[in-house]
Amino acid sequence: MDTQVTKKKLGLKERYKLLTRDLGWETTFHSREEVFPYVHYEGIKIHDWDKWEDPFRLTMDAYWKYQAEKERKFYAIIDAHAQNNGHLNLTDAHYLTAIKIFLQAITPGEYCAHKGFARVGREFGGVGTQVACQMQSLDEVRHAQTQIHAMSNYNKFYQGFHAFSDQRDRIWYTSVARSFFDDALSSGPFEFMIAIGFSFEYVLTNLLFVPFMSGAAYNGDMATVTFGFSAQSDEARHMTLGLECIKFMLEQDPANLPIVQKWIDKWFWRGLRILALVGTMMDYMLPKRVMSWKEAFDIYGIENGGALFNDLARYGVRAPKGWGDAAAAIDHMSHQLMLGLYQWSFGTAFHGWIPSDDEMEWLSAKYPDSFDKYYRPRWEHIKKLAAAGTPFKNYGLAKLCQTCQLPCVFTEPGDPTLICHREIDYKGEKYHFCSDGCKEIFENEPEKYIQAWLPMPQLFQEPLKGDLGAWMNYVSLVDGQDNGDFDGSQDQINFDKWRGMATSNK
């Protein structure tokens, strides 16, 4: 550590004031309205921007110092990982599926967050908010870069890492995360803060990163632990920015409450849908598991989210509308989506597999109310079909939800045997939804969501016109290499061979 400091002349509060708030000025050449034109149209009323303060009181000089320290730590470990064949320390190569999904779906989201915070940092009218958003914008581009850099080492040896940016734009399951961020980026500045700063950072990133990074550590993936922790060290600041912004809006004017509440409802539900992917990673893809998705949701969703909404109740905020449906879905979400990913594995840039007996035991223990009753029988059936040489593959295309873009594979709240499906007619077209939550989001802003780019309709449009082979080229998916079963894949064969070479003299 080179951060040893002698007693400072100025205290934290004074330094924050001088190096942040006092950087602002009153505009004279143009009116404030002309300089900050986007802070009014969403209906949020702000009377005093100076009331917003970063509780960490981080100033730019300290920011650069600590971020540089984080980068040095990060690259020291990434270099060691690459130099020492760190990829052979993984528990098993099918673990890499989780990392591929992360790179294809989540890392591009970091880049979107970077763009979004750069924009809102310019659009907000208060200096404290501007500086904090600017820091977060820099953090997010760092996250995107360090993640791509860390995972590029796996790209030297394994399939499915080579075209993440094409896949982010074009393949189907990544469009879940893509549409979440596109939706946030095309919102006004205050809604963006609720979407990313509050719902994503405060309510959801704990569920995304904390158990996942702990899981990476458990599975010998030094590269991911390193980028994860390096990114996560910024996360406490991001969460705090999100929470402070929401309190700021609520304190500034009571008329802001109904607008804010509507955004909380919307963005909680959108975030929960992204987390369905994370649930499959935690419950199915880590060879050695830290905790189940359900356990993580109990700690970081129910308990921590509950504490947060109790705290905000003094402003009149209630828990998000979909809170109850979410709690009911937790026993089922990861299983239902994983069954989907398995049967559509021809179209995924990662491999599928049937959980082993050992893994199914673990799932029974973690999901006593649902796994044996609803999901084990299906996996057993799938296993029988695979053993008979007639594996269960679905070459039909999934019906996607117009809002969250997940395939409609989830069940009715209260009946795990009945697929939940909602539809509405809008201006002569039919739109499909996976849930009441997603349908309501559409109904509130139909003109936004009818413009959504959906991967399945794309397949039937120019230039693909329904040609599956052409689609694979279009999404940069090499058939028989990136997709299909893990058993017999190059990833499996190479990992076993190289690990054998690394641990013996053969």
Interaction site with another protein (CB under 8 A): 1, 3-8, 11-13, 55-58, 62, 66, 69-70, 73, 205-206, 209-210, 213-215, 217-218, 225, 229, 232-233, 235-237, 239-240, 243, 290, 303-304, 306-308, 310-311, 313-314
Q: Please state the closest distance from residue 51 (CB atom) to another protein, in A.
A: 15
Interacting partner of 434 out of another protein, Fe ion, none (Cβ under 5 to 8 A depending on kind): Fe ion
Triad 297, 370, 209: Cα angle to 5°: 25
Q: Which is nearer to Fe ion, 110 or 123 (CB)?
A: 110
Q: Which is nearer to Fe ion, 440 or 482 (CB)?
A: 440
| Contact region with Fe ion (CB under 5 A), list: 191-199, 317-325, 363-371, 432-440 | 432-440
Task: Put residue 182 in one of left, alpha, beta given phi > 0 → left and psi -120 to 50 → alpha.
Answer: alpha
Size of the site for Fe ion (CB under 5 A): 8
DSSP secondary-structure letter at 407? B
User: Which stretch of DSSP H or E encloses residue 416?
Assistant: strand 415-419
Interacting partner of 404 out of Fe ion, another protein, none (Cβ under 5 to 8 A depending on kind): Fe ion
Pairwise CA distance, residues 477 & 167, whole Å? 8
276 belongs to the binding site for Fe ion (CB under 5 A): no
Pairwise CA distance, residues 251 & 82, whole Å? 50
In the numeric block, which tokens belong to residue 69? 């320290």
In terms of C-beta distances under 8 Å and separation of at least 24 residues, what long-range contacts does 205-209 make, across chains too?
205/235, 205/238, 205/239, 206/300, 206/304, 207/275, 207/278, 207/296, 207/297, 207/300, 207/301, 208/106, 208/275, 208/278, 209/235
Interacting partner of 217 out of another protein, Fe ion, none (Cβ under 5 to 8 A depending on kind): another protein
Q: Please state the closest distance from residue 217 (CB atom) to another protein, in A.
A: 4
Interacting partner of 218 out of Fe ion, another protein, none (Cβ under 5 to 8 A depending on kind): another protein
Max CA distance (Å), the chain: 78
Q: Which is nearer to Fe ion, 96 or 401 (CB)?
A: 401
Q: Which is nearer to another protein, 215 or 455 (CB)?
A: 215
Which residues in the 383-402 window bind Fe ion by CB under 5 A?
A: 401
Q: Please state the closest distance from residue 495 (CB atom) to Fe ion, in A.
A: 29
| Contact region with Fe ion (CB under 5 A), list: 343-351, 359-367, 384-392, 431-439 | 431-439
Q: Please state the closest distance from residue 110 (CB atom) to another protein, in A.
A: 17
Interacting partner of 416 out of another protein, Fe ion, none (Cβ under 5 to 8 A depending on kind): none
Residues 38-77 as x/- pattern, contact with Fe ion by CB under 5 A = ----------------------------------------
409 belongs to the binding site for Fe ion (CB under 5 A): no
Q: Which is nearer to Fe ion, 203 or 404 (CB)?
A: 404
Q: Please state the closest distance from residue 57 (CB atom) to another protein, in A.
A: 6
Amino acid at 27: T
Q: Which is nearer to Fe ion, 110 or 325 (CB)?
A: 110
Q: Which is nearer to another protein, 309 or 426 (CB)?
A: 309
Residues 6+ apart with CB under 8 A from 30: none
- Of 171, 111, 163, 99, the residue nearest 142 (C-alpha): 111
- Of 21, 24, 23, 12, the residue nearest 58 (C-alpha): 12
DSSP secondary-structure letter at 423? E
Residues 6+ apart with CB under 8 A from 202: 239, 242, 243, 308
Task: Put residue 434 in one of left, alpha, beta given phi > 0 → left and psi -120 to 50 → alpha.
Answer: alpha
Contact status, residue 335 vs residue 360, Cβ threshold 8 Å? no
438 belongs to the binding site for Fe ion (CB under 5 A): yes
Q: Which is nearer to another protein, 244 or 331 (CB)?
A: 244
Q: Which is nearer to Fe ion, 110 or 331 (CB)?
A: 110
Contact status, residue 413 vs residue 330, Cβ threshold 8 Å? no
- Of 460, 480, 221, the residue nearest 349 (C-alpha): 480
Which residues in the 91-110 window bind Fe ion by CB under 5 A?
A: 110
Binding site for Fe ion (CB under 5 A): 110, 140, 143, 401, 403-404, 434, 438
